[in-house]
Structure 1
């Protein structure tokens, strides 16, 4: 028997937050087998980035490798994955600040953390910022990341001309702007996500003052939450959402 079905179930168990995993288990409990039409329709209707495809792959492997198993057996397997995940909690978040530091709690400075996160990427970076300028060190790190084969998506607010800060990178990065250029919706997120393992979230834009001098706060996020954050940001860039467009 191939191990593809267990691997696909494990991937779903790691990806989905607890409430979504519970919903999947409930749907599987109602499925007699891989050909169950109700489960097929539910799986095809899932909107999260790549989830419908992931569920289809799981259903195909189920049909090919263990068609005799009822959905309740797969639901039980997912329950075991969820229990194991609870036993290995994600690494705790760390606090990050710009500007003055206090003796209240140990923190790291935004400027150095931003560089560390970019350097930790081996495959992909997803970066979002409302404004960007005066960030020569960040641009240098992105150029170095591109040289080692890292693909970078920059989600930037067009009204602030943030893209100018990255002009020297040319085709080394992919830039995305909101399709809605009215004041009703701005791209206000500030994120640097490396692969699916580490992300810097905070109030600081990618500007020299925000990274060093302004009073800003943020956190370093690690573990499964990063993957879900990356999935959301990449979903924003999908053509069918109509939310962001490539420059």
Structure 2
């Protein structure tokens, strides 16, 4: 009995490809920073010259009150948070004192802030967690901070940077906008932008990079209409629609 030969494949090799290996086209590497290293250095040098000692605009008295203030600042202005927390922190500047006040009192103090009910619950919950796990001390550890109720990566980075002097970069809406507009760090998410910044920001600027970028976005590179005419990094910026 004659064995049947395997059926020939109906797929044809691309024209001119018979007898040789055809390689798939290489994927294009996504550009995540449009600026040359020397331009990145000039950008931060210009921001430093305009504001040599940048600071957080949130008012706080210790790492714990800073943590609470940053949690409250989500979808709220720093000025609005400061107005609400002055009286609150005068009464409760430790987790123990905050728990003694209770959620109802905390809620009344912060009711002018957006999402105040949820935030009051988180403030009490994170205060209880701190008392139970660290004796009331704010941990100098991102993973532990992110495990607290109401605390995400951005909040943890702010606390590590401001309270403990860690060279972290917290990417909020202002920094996200500035980085994508200027070409300093292109990314679809805050985490993508953060990863690019971690790689391209020179060491000498890392500690204050967060504040320089957020303040620049808040007061110069505004969302609706950037004030390019008074921008110290105008000549470096890759934004195509600069205002006069």
Query: TM-score, normalised on structure 2?
Result: 0.26
Q: Higher Cα Rg: structure 1 or 2?
A: 2
Query: TM-score, normalised on structure 1?
Result: 0.26
